[in-house]
């Protein structure tokens, strides 16, 4: 049964996932450079560093799907001595997605930049434009795959295969563009709305070649829209609603919910976050259903924010879906904190 499951994941799930869907994180604002390049440099400090880890399908596979991302970005004033508070952001992103059973990996390094234009003299509104250039490599361990002509008819897949196998790795360039608008209302309230296009060039993503030419399988462009807000309710309590819409080929995903932030007291750097989310999706058969509900918790100490989330799959009551839950851990740090003039969503 384990062999059958690995074959199923390797020969059906992996190609469909790789060709039709992109990486995603439940704590998407904890990985802003994967969300929208226009968020590069949108930090209240001189620099920002963050890492995020996702483990998925632990109840199904002996070695679950694992996704990592790490990034650091910086901001610079365009004209330091000028009252105009425009600034630019620059950052670097590392991303890795692994399916351990067949050693399939999807790894990316990307450079990201953004220009943040102040729209009023008091810097209460910003319009940001970002671009991200990346290089992605995909790799699979072909020796972990088995084919029907290898079955010896008795007890295993021990024969030589006659399959013509391709090279086990390839790479491709990638491009993403993003736009973001941020506004401050009153002393404490912030609003953010943005959109991004990933895989603008629709790169080819197949291991197979016809002669020296790659096959024609291409990665769908991903179109996403984001909305978030930080709203202060008084008594050291804030709510942080978050909304993400993503469309990629036939697939659609929505993440919607809110966190509530409780400050320990007015003089303490310690805050707690609690939240709940829902994620409806549309699959390749155009079926729309509620994929998961999410519980989140976080601890914020000064410039450091630790986040935890757990995705409970709604379909987990059915036999074939059991164990398809996911766990995420994120850690973010803002260095050389300056002030609240630069508006950036957190967590």
Residues contacting residue 337 through CB under 8 Å, at least 6 positions apart: 44, 45, 302, 303
The DSSP string of 199-243 is -TT--B--S-EETTEE-S-BPPPEEEEEEEEEEEEETTEEEEEEE
Residues contacting residue 8 through CB under 8 Å, at least 6 positions apart: none
E strand or H helix at 172, and its extent? strand 169-185
Domain parsing of the chain, residue ranges: 2-337
pLDDT in tens, 261-315: 998 877 778 999 999 999 999 988 888 999 899 999 999 998 899 999 999 887 6
Q: What angle do CA 70, 306, 132 make, to 5 degrees?
A: 25
Of 108 and 268, the structure prediction assigns the larger pLDDT to 108
pLDDT at 4 (0 to 100): 35
Rounded to two decimals, what is the model's pTM? 0.84
Q: Is the pLDDT of residue 120 over 80?
A: yes
Q: What angle do CA 62, 68, 74 make, to 5 degrees?
A: 170
Q: Is the pLDDT of residue 331 over 70?
A: yes
C-alpha pair distances (Å), 201 with each of 113, 176, 205: 18, 9, 12
Q: Is the pLDDT of residue 116 over 50?
A: yes
Contact 257, 277 (CB under 8 A): yes
As a whole number of Å, the CA-based R_g of the chain is 22
Q: Is the pLDDT of residue 188 over 70?
A: yes
User: Given pLDDT bands bounded at 50, 70 and 90, which one contains residue 18?
Assistant: very low
Q: Which of 169-178, 230-239, 313-322 has the weakest average pLDDT?
A: 313-322
Q: Is the pLDDT of residue 346 over 60?
A: yes
Query: 2-337 in CATH: which number?
Result: 2.40.160.60
pLDDT in tens, 70-101: 999 999 988 777 667 899 999 999 999 887 77
């Amino acid at each position: 049964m384990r062999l059958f499951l690995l074959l199923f994941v390797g020969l059906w799930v992996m190609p469909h996932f790789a060709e039709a869907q992109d990486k995603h994180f439940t704590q998407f604002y904890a990985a802003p450079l994967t969300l929208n390049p226009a968020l590069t440099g949108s930090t209240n400090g001189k620099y920002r560093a963050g890492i995020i880890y996702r483990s998925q399908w632990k109840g199904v596979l002996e070695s679950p799907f694992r996704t990592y991302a790490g990034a650091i970005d910086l901001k610079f004033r365009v004209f330091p001595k000028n009252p105009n508070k425009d600034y630019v952001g620059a950052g670097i992103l590392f991303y890795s997605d692994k399916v351990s059973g067949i050693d399939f990996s999807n790894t990316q390094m990307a450079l990201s930049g953004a220009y943040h234009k102040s729209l009023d003299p008091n810097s209460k509104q910003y319009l940001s434009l970002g671009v991200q250039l990346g290089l992605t490599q995909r790799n699979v361990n072909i020796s972990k795959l088995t084919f029907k002509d290898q079955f010896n008819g008795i007890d295993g897949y021990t024969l030589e295969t006659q399959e013509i196998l391709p090279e086990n790795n390839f790479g491709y360039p990638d491009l993403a563009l993003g736009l973001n608008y941020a506004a401050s209302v009153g002393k404490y309230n912030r609003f953010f709305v943005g959109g991004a296009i990933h895989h603008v060039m629709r790169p080819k993503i197949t291991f197979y070649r016809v002669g020296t030419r790659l096959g024609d399988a291409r990665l769908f462009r991903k179109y996403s829209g984001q909305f978030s807000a930080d709203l202060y309710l008084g008594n050291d309590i804030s709510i942080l609603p978050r909304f993400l819409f993503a469309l990629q080929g036939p697939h659609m995903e929505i993440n919607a919910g809110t966190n509530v932030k409780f400050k320990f007291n007015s003089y303490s750097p310690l805050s707690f976050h609690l939240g709940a989310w829902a994620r409806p999706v549309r699959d390749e058969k155009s079926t729309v259903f509620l994929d998961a509900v999410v519980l989140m918790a976080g601890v914020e100490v000064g410039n450091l924010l630790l986040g935890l989330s757990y995705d409970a799959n709604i379909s987990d009551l059915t036999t074939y879906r059991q164990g398809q839950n996911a766990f995420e851990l994120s850690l973010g740090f803002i260095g050389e904190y300056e002030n609240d003039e630069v508006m950036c969503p957190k967590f």
